[in-house]
Amino acid sequence: MNFRKFFWVPAVAAAITLTSTLAVAETTIRVTLQLPAKHSIGANWMAFKKIVETESKGELKLQIFAAAQLYKDKETPQAVGSGAVEAGSVFLGRFAGSVPAVEVINVPFLFTDEKALRANVASGSAMRQALDAAMLKETGARVLWWQAFGRNIYLNNGKPIRTPADFKGKKVRTYGKILGWTVEALGGAPTLMSGSKQFLAYQQGAVDVGMTGASSVKTRKLYEVMKNMTLSFDSAIEFVAIMNGKFFDSLSKKHQDIIVKAARTVEQQLRDHIYTQESEDVKLLRTKMNVIDLTDAEREQWRSATKGVGDKFAKERGPLAAKIIEMVRK
């Protein structure tokens, strides 16, 4: 008897089985991020990574490329949508060119309070279903979850901003088209500017008023160049965690379920963390600058001055935008 042959056959079979098993274990999901891994967005992905790798027993592996190692923010929707990279995070407004309705999140005072905002941006809400489906259809990028970044505030030097009258004749830094409409409605002149350019612009007086989130005021040390911070909280700042749609569809049902479940878990974790952190950031910033809390009467002046922005958005940004405005207002 050829013992060598006898043992070779099962050995080969075992090797093939092992190779097949390893192939499954080596399914890799590359993730491109703009922010550092230690940032809340990066930490959120790390939490997702831990859940997915644990639940899949190592069959799914995530590689996190933070701080724009692979793609810049404006390149991410195309990179993920085309499949050049499997997943990533991007500022929601980057989808405005393909799906104008996504900027509904920037319509001032559309969401009356934090509770209303949470309800509308929650996974499974009517607004989310409509926007997520549109982004997948138009770009090929599937939204896994929305990543809260905070709410909008204003910065300035000199007389604190309390009412729309305080914007008259002022140049205001913005980070989106709809936010520009808001500034115009308040009486100011919008200037589109990336977040990284804020410190120098404020220091040099390139703009009179800043627009950002409280977390950015702290991390970018904007309190060193701006004395006042007005807590308008008139709109939300959101990122989205996205995955190439075809890649997601190629995964087994088991792996898809793991990803969807993990996404819902980390989405809620981040949103809870961000709003808690926002309160803590504001508390800290009160020791470093003059923080203005608007009275109900002052806030009503802002609402009245900017009401037309929502109407303009519904009229000019297409049927989906109009549908969502009506949906949220109801």
**Distance between CA atoms of 62 and 46, rounded to whole angstroms?**
9
- pLDDT-above-90 percentage for the chain: 84
**pLDDT given at position 74:** 87
Mean pLDDT value across residues 286-304: 97
Residue range 71-127, pLDDT digits in tens? 988 899 999 999 999 999 999 999 999 999 999 999 999 998 889 999 999 999 999
pLDDT band at 293 (very low <50, low <70, confident <90, very high): very high
Binned at pLDDT 50, 70 and 90, residue 14 comes out as very low
Is 0.75 topped by the overall pTM? Answer: yes
Q: Are strands 189-192 and 171-174 parallel, antiparallel or unpaired?
A: parallel
Asked if residue 17 has pLDDT above 50, the reply is no
Average pLDDT over residues 165-194: 95
The values of phi and psi at residue 79, to 5°, are -65, -45
Q: Which two tokens stand for residue 91?
A: 């500022």
Who has greater pLDDT, 175 or 80? 80
How confident is the model over 207-244, as pLDDT tens digits? 999 999 998 899 889 999 999 999 999 999 999 999 99
| Cβ burial 74-88 (10 Å sphere, 16+ → b, else e) | ebbbebbbeeebbbb
When pLDDT is averaged across residues 24-51 and rounded to a whole number, the result is: 90
DSSP result, 239-300: EEEEEEHHHHHHS-HHHHHHHHHHHHHHHHHHHHHHHHHHHHHHHHHTTTSEEEPPPHHHHH
Q: Give the pLDDT band of residue 25 (cuts 50, 70, 90).
A: low
Q: Contact 65/35 with Cβ under 8 angstroms?
A: no
Q: Which residues, 6+ apart, have CB-to-CB distance to 203 below 8 Å?
A: 225
